[in-house]
Chains A and B, each alone.
Chain A
Amino acid sequence: MAPSCARTPANATNRQPALELRFLDVGQGDAILIRHAGKTVLVDAGETDGIVTILRALGVDTIDLAVASHNHDDHIGGLDTVLQAFPVRIYLDNGHPANTRIQRRVLELVRDRGVPYRDAGALTDSVIVLGDATLRVIPSPVTGTRVNPNDESVALVVERAGFRALLTGDSERRELGALLREARIPDVDVLKAPHHGSRTGVIPSWLARTRPEVVAISVGAGNTYGLPDEDALAAYGEGGRAVLRTDLDGDIVVTVDGRGCYEVRSGRTGEEVRAHGGPAACAVPPTQESRP
């Protein structure tokens, strides 16, 4: 992760349109839209069919890759309606069965519609190319019986130039610890708080390793579970780190240009930049060559 720097607009110095990560406000659940180079990736789909309306309003007409981080209803509850509403080119999950009706429905739709399926744990190449950006798929290293399904979440690292964002579904301490031991986790600019800002999704060594400048929490207003947890919020906010929450901020939108310069905006504050950063080049005015 590069240090923060004074900024020039992340959209203004890039021949390609910005990479966009959008943490969607879907209530209590996760749904993250990633768009770049004409491709659209949806990571989880919240709990309800409301995701379809949200995606249509954003101009989505095709999902090139749908990812289920794990198979809890607050992550895949809307995926069946997504599969019915949009062409989905590839479906990727963690390869673990659940006994619920919703997982069965989703998998039956994948099968019946001929959507190519990928098991994150069986990929021979974990890097997915999106123009000049990449998604790196990290299957959970936690194995065995009686594993908490949250600790079977697929992790994704989104990279463009020096920029990195880390998405880890609902991973809790066991998976986070295992990922740290495998040393596969880089430092990042943007971290999605695991498990909706739960205290089980944050450990000091995780923050020490990932060193995020911005934390995005997908969480529903007035949720039953008291999330995000106050101690977790305090940990995320240490050192003046920017913490945005979908329950308070609406959609959290991160745009990244070709130099890795990023800006963070939120649905409730429009064009106001809530956080920004990137490599030293972000402080330099754009050259004529780099102007769009």
Chain B
Amino acid sequence: MKRAKPQEGPDGTLQRTAVPEARQLRKQAGDWLKQRRADAGLSQVALAERLGMKYYTFISQVENGFSRVPTEAMEAWAIQLGLEPSEFAKHLLLYYEPELYRLLFGKKK
């Protein structure tokens, strides 16, 4: 997963600089997913193929921290990464819904 340097728009404007907490947490989730994928020895293309996707671009979208793993797809992702689905979902909840995670499990990261 690579992230491009911030690119200027045609009008010379740069993208915003302040990064909200939700985005930082999604990025951390993306980094964690990237590491798990590397542990499973899969490229983004290979993972997408195993998940039945036409393109691999959504894997990058998630790993770059811009999107979440959809709830309905968590089990399939976990299986393809060789992880236990409930632990996988629980770990992602820590990043995606930290307050819900705290209420359910009693602690934050």
- A and B: bona fide binding partners: no
A residues in contact (CB < 8 Å) with B: none
B residues in contact (CB < 8 Å) with A: none
